């Protein structure tokens, strides 16, 4: 059956609402009974029947105001229960049976390693019982969980525990009450045996909040960082936004089977254990960062998402874009480093630009959706965060805070739209955001082209801007949008030139480009300057300006903005990578090599930034710069540049590497930065001199006591296929084979092994006892490691890489449609590639599209990619 799209323009307010729901859930792995008692009210004047959503439920009984309905009183389909005759206000009682053990989709109620847990966002509650499963129906929930307390010592749900009793049959009943009305996507239940880390937080008004972190038995020594991050996040939200936590208890449960990072259920977050569990031995610096940001993210949702929620799922960016922006700012404040911004931009350029240019292009507020789970995208999340950041840039920190205050004053307790948010920002600041709203309506990456003119006589400098957004798969007509450009001008020595202009610049020299074209003239400019036009990546756009190599080197070496420095080097290197790929040249000019070397040896540049400045452009980032790609010449060109730079950087990197060794492991910003630069140096050493790097990798792996350095050694041995690669991989496997989370790192390396043996090796790895396709972390580590990072073999000339991925997708289609839909992404980009790759990729998609049990998730994505 072909699934139908829902449209934003078809939104209607609900015909009924539910004020209160009392749930009783009797846990049994294969036969859980769910009894719900709901207080339902008709909304508005109409005589329509009550239509509830429900999937994979076995209906036992329906009663209204205590009166059982017989089968003539209602009708059922695979997806709905319709009750024809209902009054204006009534009590509805429904009993259903469900089978959590058979639920491998990890949506609804399922089992994760023997523990019951739920995932309801976006539309999973309908797999638990019949309900009005939409975010604009807000009810008070009371939940009673009944189960065997010896098996499930912890039975948790949202809000506060209000009762616990032993039943006559030996089972235990625990009742939870959540005082805040909420949409059902925020419902959660967890039952299992865990170790518990407990702490508390005193809020700014003096209330004590109990903090509880539940982890798998034996993992308490990995829970401290998550707890510390939670307390930091609570304090940060009070300081920056004046927002205080609102319940007496905040619980976080870490589970091993989870589709995404985590879920912000009211008072009871459920987390992928990857974003909770960490200690120095088992987790990398990057893992610790991920924990801080995801713990922060879910906590921040308590206000941006839970207290004020979305009217409908098209408004997802209302809570996600805003909350990603908040977690990015939190991480920036915690690490106090400019490089967070560079890493955030790299995600936009490598992944979001690809989405904008591909078959699934959609605005941050989509207009048409078949499967909502397909829209938890880098566009809704990360571009959504960029859109919020632009408002912050335009209004300033104080203006943005005024807007947030007004937003909560107006909408606390409501389900609202993205327009409501922008309106609050606009009203609180009397700032015209009418053109800015285009960002919510239009997909695609705007391109701003800039030309300039310097007049030596009048000492004036003019910048001419024009903007254009290319057509996307979902929309052909585009209009001009509001683009904030943070500008700087520099003289030949790299010194900043003060900006004098009659044009209106907002705080921090931000120019608002509002029309298709516009010009700005600066006075008192004594020499022809080098412009920086998108400082801090002030807008998620592509900027075209014909920089000379020398101008880019000036910015790379002298600009005060870390992003601009990084961007300048990336542009320079990309320029020559393309020239080599196109056969126009074979080498990097000496002045660029010297420039990069000057950066590597500059003692003034802080280590974290230097590590970024020494990065090569990513393959994805490069692929997004052109319409169509012949992938193998591009990969070869990258290798040429890498080798050339490596031999120039070798001595410097070797010296730096030695200087950077630290006697003890510390988890502070400076030590992290040093480890990151030291890894970058080791990479350059390996590219120049594999035997030398091999020795260093073995020494690092053996002498180090922390996962960051050990994994750096392993990553480089694997990336450059060094002599010790296999033995190091074996050692790692021996040491960690019983630890799934750690083995994810190994699986990922196996996936991206740049070796002719990689296919035979993949088959071996799939047979390992710790590899399970049913576990999303395991599946993702190996499959995405190969298909999103192992370019040479994923794009193997005979198409075997595509075939391998297609086989995994076919298996995952029936196990876990959400994960299948995410992992298929590299194949859906087939139009980007030249023949024969494009045809081979397309052929695999066509086969998948023929599957008789193809999920809605894949139907939407594969269908769009094939143009159906």
Distance of CA 326 to the CA centre of its chain: 13
Which of 37, 23, 42 lies closest to 91 in space, CA to CA?
37
The footprint of ligand B3K on residues 273-302 (CB under 6 A) is 297-298, 301
Closer of 416 and 714 to ligand B3K (Cβ): 416
Q: Which is nearer to ligand B3K, 258 or 522 (CB)?
A: 258
Compute the least distance from the CB of residue 440 to Zn ion, in Å.
18
Report what 122 binds from Zn ion, ligand B3K, none; CB cut-off 5-8 Å by kind: ligand B3K
- Partner touching 369 among Zn ion, ligand B3K, none, CB below 5 to 8 Å by kind: none
Report d(CA 172, CA 147) in Å as an integer.
Answer: 6
Is residue 849 at the binding interface for ligand B3K, with CB under 6 A as the rule? no
> Is residue 318 at the binding interface for ligand B3K, with CB under 6 A as the rule?
no
Least distance CB 120 / ligand B3K (angstroms): 9
* In contact, 343 and 337? CB cutoff 8 Å: no
Rounded distance between C-alpha atoms, residue 730 and residue 719, angstroms: 16
- How far apart are alpha carbons 98 and 92 in whole angstroms? 19
Token couple for 299: 């906590």
Tokens of 543: 């900027």
SS3 sequence of 433-461: CCCCCHHHHCCCCCEEEEEEEEECCCCEE
Q: How far is the CB of 519 from Zn ion (least distance, A)?
A: 40
Minimum separation from the CB atom of position 129 to ligand B3K (A): 19
Identity of the residue, 118 or 837, whose beta carbon is nearer to ligand B3K in the bound complex: 118
* Residue 260 binding ligand B3K, by CB under 6 A: yes
**Does residue 376 interact with ligand B3K by CB under 6 A?**
yes
Site for Zn ion in 547-576 (CB under 5 A): none
Q: Which is nearer to Zn ion, 259 or 715 (CB)?
A: 259
Residue 318 binds what, of Zn ion, ligand B3K, none (CB under 5 to 8 Å, by partner type)? none
Q: Pick the catalytic residue: 107, 298, 355, 371?
A: 298
CA 461 to chain centre: 41
Segment interacting with ligand B3K, rule: CB under 6 A, options 232-240, 255-263, 626-634, 836-844? 255-263
- C-alpha to C-alpha distance for 403 and 428, rounded to whole angstroms: 5
Q: Which of 92, 93, 96, 77 is nearest to 32 (CA)?
A: 96
Q: From Zn ion, ligand B3K, none, which one binds at residue 263 (CB under 5 to 8 Å depending on kind)?
A: ligand B3K
Which residue number, 133 or 298, has a Cβ lying nearer to ligand B3K? 298
Q: Of residues 264, 344, 355, 857, which one binds ligand B3K by CB under 6 A?
A: 264
Cβ distance to Zn ion smaller for residue 314 or 791: 314
Among 285, 320, 567, 860, contact with ligand B3K (rule: CB under 6 A): 320
Left if phi > 0, otherwise alpha if psi is -120 to 50, otherwise beta: which for 206?
left
Do you know the residue count of the chain? Answer: 868
Structure tokens at 374: 């397909």
565 binds, among Zn ion, ligand B3K, none (CB under 5 to 8 A by kind): none
Q: Which is nearer to ligand B3K, 319 or 795 (CB)?
A: 319
Stretch of 250-258, 260-268, 325-333, 626-634 contacting ligand B3K, by CB under 6 A: 260-268
Between residue 152 and residue 171, which ones bind Zn ion under the rule CB under 5 A?
Answer: none
CB of 196 within 8 A of CB of 212?
A: yes
Q: Which does 376 bind (CB under 5 to 8 A by kind): Zn ion, ligand B3K, none?
A: ligand B3K
Helix (H) or strand (E) holding 158: none
Q: Which is nearer to Zn ion, 323 or 704 (CB)?
A: 323
Q: Is the Cβ–Cβ distance between 130 and 57 less than 8 Å?
A: yes
Residue 748 as a binder of ligand B3K (CB under 6 A): the answer is: no
Active site residue 298: yes
Residue whose beta carbon is closest to ligand B3K: 121
Which residues from 832-851 bind Zn ion, rule CB under 5 A? none
Contact, 438 vs 479, CB < 8 A?
yes
222 binds ligand B3K per the rule CB under 6 A = no
Contact range with ligand B3K by CB under 6 A, out of 259-267, 282-290, 433-441, 706-714: 259-267
C-alpha to C-alpha distance for 84 and 816, rounded to whole angstroms: 35
For Zn ion, give the closer residue by CB, 118 or 718. 118
Cα 460 to Cα 480: distance, rounded to the nearest angstrom: 27
Give the integer Cα–Cα distance in Å for 543 and 531: 12
Which of 320/860 has CB closer to Zn ion? 320
Parallel, antiparallel, or unpaired for β 208-215 and 249-255? parallel
Residues 449-468 that bind ligand B3K (CB under 6 A): none
Which SS3 state, helix, strand or coil, does residue 628 take? coil
Give the one residue of 106, 128, 247, 263 binding ligand B3K; rule: CB under 6 A: 263
Smallest distance, ligand B3K to C-beta of residue 270, A: 10
Q: Which does 356 bind (CB under 5 to 8 A by kind): Zn ion, ligand B3K, none?
A: none
DSSP letters for 106-172: --EEEEETTEEEEE-TTTTGGGTS-B--STT--EEEEEEEEE-TTT-SEEEESSEEEEEEE-TTS-E
* Subset of residues 584 to 643 that bind Zn ion, contact rule: CB under 5 A: none
Q: What is the maximum span of the chain, computed from C-alpha positions, in angstroms?
A: 96
Task: Name the phi and psi angles at 149, rounded to 5.
Answer: -65, -20
* Residue 121 engages ligand B3K in binding (rule: CB under 6 A): yes
Residues 385-424 that bind ligand B3K (CB under 6 A): none
Cβ at position 371, least distance to ligand B3K in Å: 10
Binders in 314-373 for Zn ion, by CB under 5 A: 320, 323
Instruction: Kindly report the backbone phi and psi dihedral angles of residue 164, in degrees, each rounded to the nearest multiple of 5, phi listed first.
Output: -150, 125
- Residue 260 contact, options ligand B3K, Zn ion, none, Cβ 5-8 Å cut-off depending on partner type: ligand B3K
Q: Interacting stretch for ligand B3K, rule CB under 6 A, among 163-171, 262-270, 545-553, 766-774?
A: 262-270
* Token digits of residue 121: 């966002």
Contact 158, 266 (CB under 8 A): yes
Provide the token pair at 514.
């509002």
Q: Which stretch binds ligand B3K (CB under 6 A): 257-265, 440-448, 493-501, 565-573?
A: 257-265
Interface with Zn ion (CB under 5 A), residue total 2
- Total residues contacting ligand B3K (rule CB under 6 A)? 12
* DSSP code for 497: E
Q: How far is the CB of 392 from ligand B3K (least distance, A)?
A: 20
**Residues of this chain, 672-731, that bind ligand B3K according to CB under 6 A:** none
Smallest distance, ligand B3K to C-beta of residue 187, A: 13
Q: With contact defined as beta carbons under 8 Å apart, do 158 and 267 qualify?
A: yes
Q: HSE (CB half, 13 Å, CA atoms) of 203? A: 17
Task: Please report how close the Cβ of residue 649 comes to ligand B3K at its closest, in angstroms.
Answer: 40
Burial bucket for residue 815 (CB in 10 Å: 0-12, 13-18, 19+) = middle
Rg of the chain (C-alpha set)? 28
Q: Return d(Cα 223, Cα 225) in angstroms, integer.
A: 6
Smaller CB separation from Zn ion, 35 or 273: 273
Nearer to ligand B3K, 22 or 298 (CB): 298
Q: From residue 378, give the alpha-carbon distance in Å to each of 324, 391, 620, 829, 858.
A: 11, 19, 14, 15, 18
Q: Applying CB under 6 A, does 445 fall inside the site for ligand B3K?
A: no
Of 121 and 256, the one with the shorter C-beta distance to Zn ion is 121
Q: Should residue 373 be labelled a site residue for ligand B3K when binding is judged by CB under 6 A?
A: yes
Tell me the C-alpha distance between 620 and 347, whole Å: 10
CA 276 from chain center: how many Å? Answer: 16
φ, ψ at 555 (rounded to 5°): -65, -45
Q: Summarize as ranges the residues that interact with ligand B3K (CB under 6 A).
A: 121-122, 260, 262-264, 297-298, 301, 320, 373, 376
Q: Which residues are catalytic?
A: 298
Q: Summarize as ranges the residues that interact with Zn ion (CB under 5 A).
A: 320, 323
């Amino acid at each position: 059956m072909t699934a139908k799209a829902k449209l934003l323009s078809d939104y209607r307010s609900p015909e009924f609402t539910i004020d209160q729901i009392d749930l009783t859930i009797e846990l049994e792995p294969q036969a859980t009974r769910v009894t719900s008692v709901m207080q339902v009210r008709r909304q508005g004047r109409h005589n329509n029947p009550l239509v509830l959503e429900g999937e994979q439920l076995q209906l036992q009984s329906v009663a209204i105001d205590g009166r059982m309905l017989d089968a003539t009183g209602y009708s059922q389909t695979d997806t709905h229960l319709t009750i024809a005759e209902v009054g204006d206000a009534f009590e509805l009682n429904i009993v259903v049976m469900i089978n959590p053990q058979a639920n491998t989709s990890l949506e609804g109620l399922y089992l994760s390693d023997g523990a019951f847990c739920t995932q309801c966002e976006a539309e999973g509650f309908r797999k638990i019982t019949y309900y009005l499963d939409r975010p604009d129906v807000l009810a008070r929930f009371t939940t009673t969980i009944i189960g065997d307390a010896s098996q499930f010592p912890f039975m948790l749900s949202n809000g506060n525990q209000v009762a616990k009793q032993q039943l006559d049959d030996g089972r235990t009943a625990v009742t939870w009450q959540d005082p805040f009305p909420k949409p059902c996507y925020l419902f959660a239940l967890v039952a299992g045996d865990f170790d518990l880390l407990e702490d508390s937080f005193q809020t700014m008004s003096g209330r004590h909040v109990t903090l509880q972190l539940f982890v798998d038995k034996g993992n308490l020594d990995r829970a401290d960082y998550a707890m510390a991050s939670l307390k930091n996040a609570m304090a940060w939200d009070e300081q920056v936004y004046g927002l205080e936590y609102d319940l007496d208890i905040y619980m976080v449960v870490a589970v091993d089977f989870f589709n995404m990072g985590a879920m912000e259920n009211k008072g009871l977050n459920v987390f992928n254990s990857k974003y909770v569990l960490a200690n120095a031995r088992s987790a990398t610096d990057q893992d610790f960062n991920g924990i801080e940001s995801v713990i922060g993210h879910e906590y921040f949702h308590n206000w941006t998402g839970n207290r004020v929620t979305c009217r409908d799922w098209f408004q997802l960016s209302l809570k996600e874009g805003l909350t990603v922006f908040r977690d990015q700012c939190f991480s920036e404040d915690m690490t106090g480093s400019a490089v967070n911004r560079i890493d955030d931009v790299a995600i936009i350029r490598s992944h979001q630009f690809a989405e904008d240019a591909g078959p699934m292009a959609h605005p941050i507020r989509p207009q048409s959706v078949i499967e909502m789970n397909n829209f938890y995208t880098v566009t809704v999340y990360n571009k959504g965060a960029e859109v919020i950041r632009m408002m912050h840039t335009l209004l300033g920190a104080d203006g943005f805070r005024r807007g947030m205050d007004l937003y909560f004053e107006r909408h606390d307790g409501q389900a609202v739209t993205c327009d409501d948010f922008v309106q609050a920002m606009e009203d609180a600041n009397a700032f015209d955001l009418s053109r800015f709203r285009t960002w919510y309506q239009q997909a695609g990456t705007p391109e701003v082209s800039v030309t300039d003119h310097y007049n030596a006589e009048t000492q004036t400098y003019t910048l001419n801007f024009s903007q254009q957004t290319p057509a996307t798969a979902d929309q052909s007509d585009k209009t001009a949008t509001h683009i904030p450009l943070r500008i700087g001008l520099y003289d030949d020595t790299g010194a900043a030139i003060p900006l004098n202009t009659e044009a209106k610049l907002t705080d921090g020299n931000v120019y608002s480009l509002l029309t298709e074209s516009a010009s700005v003239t600066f006075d008192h400019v004594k020499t022809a300057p080098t412009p920086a036009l998108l400082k801090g990546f002030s807008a998620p756009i592509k900027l075209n300006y014909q920089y000379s190599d020398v101008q880019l080197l000036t910015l790379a070496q002298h600009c005060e903005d870390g992003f601009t420095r990084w961007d300048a080097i990336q542009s320079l290197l990309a320029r020559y990578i393309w020239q080599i790929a196109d056969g126009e040249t074979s080498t990097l000019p000496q002045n660029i090599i010297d420039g990069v070397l000057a950066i590597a040896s500059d003692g003034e540049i802080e280590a974290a930034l230097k590590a970024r400045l020494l990065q090569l452009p990513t393959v994805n980032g490069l692929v997004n710069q052109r319409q169509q790609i012949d992938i193998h010449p591009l990969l070869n060109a990258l290798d040429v540049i890498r080798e050339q730079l490596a031999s120039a950087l070798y001595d410097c990197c070797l010296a730096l590497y030695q200087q950077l060794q630290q006697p003890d492991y510390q988890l502070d910003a400076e030590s992290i930065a040093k480890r990151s630069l030291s890894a970058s140096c080791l990479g350059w050493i390996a590219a120049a001199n594999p035997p030398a790097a091999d020795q260093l990798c073995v020494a690092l792996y053996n002498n180090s006591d922390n996962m960051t350095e050990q994994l750096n050694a392993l990553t480089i041995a694997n990336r450059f296929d060094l002599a010790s690669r296999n033995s190091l991989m074996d050692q790692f496997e021996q040491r960690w084979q019983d630890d799934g989370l750690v083995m994810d790192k190994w699986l990922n390396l196996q996936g991206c092994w740049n070796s002719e043996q990689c296919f035979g090796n993949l088959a071996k790895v799939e047979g390992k006892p710790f590899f399970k396709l049913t576990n999303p972390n395991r599946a993702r580590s190996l499959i995405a490691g190969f298909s999103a990072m192992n370019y040479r073999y994923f794009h193997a000339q005979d198409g075997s890489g595509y075939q391998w991925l297609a086989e995994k997708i076919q298996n995952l289609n029936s196990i876990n449609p959400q994960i299948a839909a995410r992992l298929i992404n590299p194949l859906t980009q087939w139009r980007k590639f030249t023949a024969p790759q494009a045809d081979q990729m397309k052929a695999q998609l066509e086969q998948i599209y023929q599957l008789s049990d193809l999920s809605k998730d894949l139907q939407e994505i594969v269908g769009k990619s094939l143009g159906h």
